[in-house]
Amino acid sequence: MKISNKAILFFILIVACVFRFYDFAHIPFTHDEFSALFRTRFSSFHELIERGVRPDGHPAGVQVFLYFWSKIVGWNTWLIKLPFAVAGVLSILLMYRIATLWYNETVGIISAAFLAVMQIMVMYAQIARPYISGHFFVLLMVFFWSLMILKPDKTFLRNSILFVLSAALCAYNHHFSLLMAAIVGFTGLFLIQRKYLGWYILSGVAIFALYIPHLSILFSQLEIGGIESWLAKPTPSFFPLYLGYLFNYSVLMYGLVGAIMAGGFFTIKKADFSLKKFLLFLTFFILPALIGYFYSVYSSAVLQYSVLIFSTPFILFLLFGHISNQKPVVNAVLTLIILAIGGYALIYKREHYRVFYDSPYEKIIDDAQKVNSQFPGTPILIHSHHAITDYYLDENTFSIPFTWLDSLPTTAQLILFLDSASKVSNTFYYGHLSENDSKTIPIIRDYFPEIKWQSNYFNASTYLFSKGEKMKTKNVVLDFETAETKNWSNFDLNYVVETDILNESHAYKVDSTIEWSVSFHENLSFFSPQKNDFIDIALSGYFEKSPKETLVVATLKNDETTVYWGASGFHDFLTSDIFPQQVKAHLTIKLSDVQGIEKQTALTVFLWNKGESQFLIDDFEIARRAGNRVLYGLGEQIE
């Protein structure tokens, strides 16, 4: 059977459909999708714009579409997502067509094959948000723009109209797809044939005219600023990490890209490489990223992987645009290798179908239901999104008794709740999202020390605790019972006193004249932590009266540069106004949220008696706790 490039492209599209539509009916809504759908519950279009669009920060396009689409199909997950998945597949076809216009069929085949297996393309085709739609609109715009630039004598008017409409769709879709439309449109001024320049400028005027109704929304959204409440400002490491993400963090894919590039250089002809084309697509790829980066650094944080999906395809032209046209059999072999290696990385390296298909909100409820069935009467504590949790409770007809963590707004209330729970049950369940206060787990373990099991999901974890023994981990303890004080300093053994007030027979006396007391110093690597692990710090104290600014402090430093500073006060852990009182303070370092950790990063922990209190301390403990390896696994590398 004769192999043709069209047959190869058709095969790529079939494989792309498999990756995007696998178990499609069971793909859960993401947080962003829930947020958008909750903002469709309005009785009028005006209310939708004023309350559902203006406060959001995204243009109106996709929100308006979801408003009408959800009225037709309801909240059926696969029907809500269907148009976006279709757009994801059609984008691959557009990529091929654009590549053949500017380069050749081999470049088109290679580019289409990579788009089929990149996780960023697969995942966002499964999310009903303005990312894959914008990706599609940008490619649609560039396709018609390319026809205007390269083949202006053929149906210029039709291509101009379609260019205007697709650029307007970019503008209404997302601010970064609007940025792409502006970059592409401006670039065309230097490429369009002079006799068509006037018509080209008119097309730009038409795009602006179509966007005029949205200007008031744009200006009001600009006043909102960035999203720094949850998105950090980027550092220069953003760019190499993003490139790794594009190729599924796979060494095999990196090697494949390098091999294909090298093979292209060996067969390159002078006519196959155009500096003009290279600079054109370099502009398309890099300029949005640079604008987003510098805006995020010097103004408000907006740069994240998702907003670069609109410019991402053009990196493939930079990598493979020099490759000359090959025979279909060569294209077929390249396609099979790309799809095999990329598919393997998507499924096994990125664990896409396990991590993405498990809704953290649903799993918190599912695991609670299982515990409720297996261990009736187990207290259940949940930290999650209320409205989304209610959605899953209704959908699954679950009826389980549980307590919301935010109904216990203070640490003291949590401690009292746990104390009561420990008197009626030997087990305890806790499910939480990633923004949970990290010291909640060690506080729970004061009453239920053993973690019987821990289940990890993207952005969430669930636990079943019991009163069994705490599992041994890499830890250090200063209990003042032995002379072993390695890595501990800034204390005087003469202040060790005999007492049975605290946990053992000795304690350490801190008087009001001592501001800086017991300290621990060691390289963080001593604890052998993984990037998503925690460092739990605990210290028991005995106070005759209420402590005044008595703090457990921890720092992480690279030489003289501090990358983390945190403190926890004993007063937060008081459970009554009655003294004397024994108190255990906790401080936890969430390593996944600390930027700049290196092999030689130094950990220092110390007691700061800032308020000049007098008290006893005992059992100063520092331990590593295993974290969630897939916590940010949809964007970061999974270890």
**Residues 297 and 233 sit within 8 Å (Cβ to Cβ):** yes
- Is residue 483 pLDDT above 70, yes or no? no
Residues 575 and 491 in one domain: yes
Q: What is the pLDDT of residues 422-440, one digit of tens each?
A: 999 999 999 999 999 999 9
CA-closest candidate to residue 305, choices 321, 318, 288: 288
Q: Report pLDDT for 468.
A: 83
Residues 411 and 351 in one domain: no
Note the pTM of the prediction, 2 decimals: 0.93
Task: Give a yes or no: residue 581 inside a domain.
Answer: yes
- Is residue 1 pLDDT above 70, yes or no? no
| Mean pLDDT score, 290-312 | 93
Task: Give a yes or no: residue 634 inside a domain.
Answer: no
Where residue 404 falls among pLDDT bands split at 50, 70, 90? very high
What CATH number did the domain enclosing 607 receive?
2.60.120.260
Residues 410 and 532 in one domain: no
Residues 445 and 296 in one domain: no
Residues 393 and 324 in one domain: no
CA-closest candidate to residue 525, choices 601, 639, 591: 601
Alpha-carbon 291 to chain mean position: 21
Task: Give a yes or no: residue 639 inside a domain.
Answer: no
Q: Report pLDDT for 101.
A: 97
Give the DSSP letter of residue 491. -
Other CB atoms within a 10 A radius of the CB of residue 432 amount to 22
**Cα–Cα distance, 554 to 548 (Å, whole number):** 19
Residue 102 φ/ψ region, left for φ over 0, alpha for ψ in the -120 to 50 degree band, beta for the rest: alpha
Task: Give a yes or no: residue 425 inside a domain.
Answer: yes
- Is residue 504 pLDDT above 90, yes or no? no
Least confident of 392-406, 446-460, 498-512: 498-512
Residue 428's domain comprises 360-466
Q: Report pLDDT for 245.
A: 97
Where residue 500 falls among pLDDT bands split at 50, 70, 90? confident
Helix (H, G, I), strand (E, B) or coil at 303: coil
Where residue 494 falls among pLDDT bands split at 50, 70, 90? confident
Residues 200 and 258 in one domain: yes
What size, in residues, is the chain? 639
- Is residue 581 pLDDT above 70, yes or no? yes
Domain count, the chain: 3
Mean residue pLDDT of the chain comes to 93
Where residue 638 falls among pLDDT bands split at 50, 70, 90? very high
End residue of a domain, out of 417, 448, 466: 466
Helix (H, G, I), strand (E, B) or coil at 619: strand
End residue of a domain, out of 420, 442, 466: 466
Q: Report pLDDT for 503.
A: 67
Residues 565 and 613 in one domain: yes
Residues 130 and 195 in one domain: yes
Comparing 193 with 395, the larger pLDDT belongs to 193
Residues 401 and 447 in one domain: yes
| Mean pLDDT score, 87-94 | 98
Task: Give a yes or no: residue 635 inside a domain.
Answer: no
End residue of a domain, out of 425, 442, 466: 466
Query: What are the DSSP calls for 437-486, one per residue?
Result: -TTHHHHHHTTS-EEEEEEEETTEEEEEEESSPPPP-SEEEE-SSSS--T
Task: Give a yes or no: residue 53 inside a domain.
Answer: yes
Q: What is the pLDDT of residues 203-222, one digit of tens each?
A: 999 999 999 999 999 988 87
Residues 571 and 479 in one domain: yes
Task: Give a yes or no: residue 200 inside a domain.
Answer: yes
**Cα–Cα distance, 72 to 242 (Å, whole number):** 37
Other CB atoms within a 10 A radius of the CB of residue 599 amount to 8
Q: Which residues of 182-210 are buried (b: 16+ CB within 10 A; e: fewer)?
A: bbbbebbeeebeeebeeebeebbebbeeb
**Cα–Cα distance, 86 to 133 (Å, whole number):** 9
Residues 388 and 292 in one domain: no
Where residue 226 falls among pLDDT bands split at 50, 70, 90? low
**Cα–Cα distance, 361 to 431 (Å, whole number):** 9
| Mean pLDDT score, 359-387 | 96
Task: Give a yes or no: residue 637 inside a domain.
Answer: no
**Cα–Cα distance, 413 to 513 (Å, whole number):** 32
Q: What is the pLDDT of residues 240-258, one digit of tens each?
A: 999 999 999 999 999 999 9
Sequence-distant (6+) residues with CB within 8 A of 334 are 106, 109, 110, 113, 260, 326
Helix (H) or strand (E) holding 139: helix 132-150
| Mean pLDDT score, 475-503 | 81
Q: Report pLDDT for 639.
A: 83
Q: Report pLDDT for 221.
A: 82
**Cα–Cα distance, 324 to 303 (Å, whole number):** 35
How do 550-558 and 561-569 pair as beta strands? antiparallel
| Mean pLDDT score, 86-107 | 98
- List, as own/partner pairs, every contact residues 261-270 make where C-beta atoms lie below 8 angstroms and the sequence separation is at least 24, other chains included: 261/319, 261/320, 261/322, 263/323, 264/320, 264/322, 264/323, 264/324, 265/322, 267/323, 267/324, 268/322, 268/323, 268/324, 269/324
Amino acid identity for residue 248 in this structure: N
Residues 272 and 381 in one domain: no
- Is residue 310 pLDDT above 80, yes or no? yes
Tokens 């710090």, residue located:
537
For the record, the structure tokens of 346 come out as 């998507």
